[in-house]
Amino acid sequence: MTGFESVVLDVDGTLVRGGDPVPGAIGALDRLRETGADVLLFSNNPTREPASYREWLADLGFEVRPGEVLTSGVVTAEYLADEHPDDPVYVVGEQGLCDLLAARDRALTDDPEAAAVVVGSIDREFTYDRLRDGLWALDGATFVATDPDRTIPVDGRPLPGSGAIVAALAGAADRDPEAVLGKPSERAATAALDRVRADAGSCLVVGDRLDTDLAMGERAGMTTALVLSGVATREDAAAADPAPDYVLESIADLPAALADR
């Protein structure tokens, strides 16, 4: 047994690196399920619908059930529904995020002058003109970020993430976002715990980032496990305060570590 009622798993850098499963990740996820623990896959990638994520992971060989995927895009949509239900939203981000927000009846606008909320996110077609329009949209609008991830772990060199785009907008406008959603925010932790229907003390969070995955878990009172298959290094783990409860080479080592718990 794991000793945990639920396990929240990061995706990029934890289960998958680039376009391939981390070696041993599929078997590790299967063994976690055999313990009876509820599983939630929580990604700070805001560009995919959970159903699309499920299909992608299934194609890679992972068993993922309905309701087991949460993304920063979904957390952002829920935040906007609660805090800005009727406000026009201008997105500096990708079409996938726009589609996700539109599917949840968020009022999107392409006009910077009409924006009441600006959402900054990863944008792999980011240009000077998009930065300019985002700056103009931020004049009087609320500033929201889907997630703080500055880079994305892939095989080889890392790629810029949402945090890089948000930093460009923040620098141009000389202001920080009023809300940064996704991990490690309190809203992200609440969304995760609501879905696994567990209290924080019986939940394990596993990820490759100290500043997002593990910070969310630590702040919420979850047990934390850092895997070294993504962004963080063993030196980072040694310098962390508080230290992770577990430090593992990869998620493949998690079932054995929990068996000794």
From residue 10, alpha-carbon distances to 68, 93, 184, 212 in Å are 12, 22, 12, 10
pLDDT-flagged residues of the chain (< 70)? 1-2, 155, 261
Per CATH, the architecture of 76-180 is what? 3-Layer(aba) Sandwich (3.40)
Q: How many C-beta atoms surround the C-beta of residue 39 within 10 A? A: 17
| pLDDT value at residue 1 | 44
The catalytic residue positions are 10, 12
Taking the alpha carbons of 164, 20, 249, 43 in that order, is the dihedral positive or negative? positive
Tens of pLDDT, residue by residue over 193-202, are: 999 988 999 9
Separation CA 119–CA 143 (nearest Å):
6
Q: Are 15 and 53 in contact (CB under 8 A)?
A: no
Q: How many C-beta atoms surround the C-beta of residue 88 within 10 A? A: 18
Q: Does domain 6-44+183-259 have CATH number 3.40.50.1000?
A: yes
| pLDDT value at residue 126 | 97
| pLDDT value at residue 100 | 96
| pLDDT value at residue 35 | 87
Separation CA 44–CA 213 (nearest Å):
9
- The alpha carbon of residue 233 and the mean position of all alpha carbons in its chain are separated, in whole angstroms, by 19
| Confidence (pTM) | 0.93
Residue of 11, 13, 98, 24 whose CA lies nearest to 56: 11
Q: Does 6-44+183-259 match 76-180 in CATH topology?
A: yes
Separation CA 94–CA 97 (nearest Å):
6
229: its two tokens: 């298959």
Separation CA 71–CA 16 (nearest Å):
15
Separation CA 2–CA 5 (nearest Å):
8
Q: Return the domain boundaries, the chain.
A: 6-44+183-259, 76-180
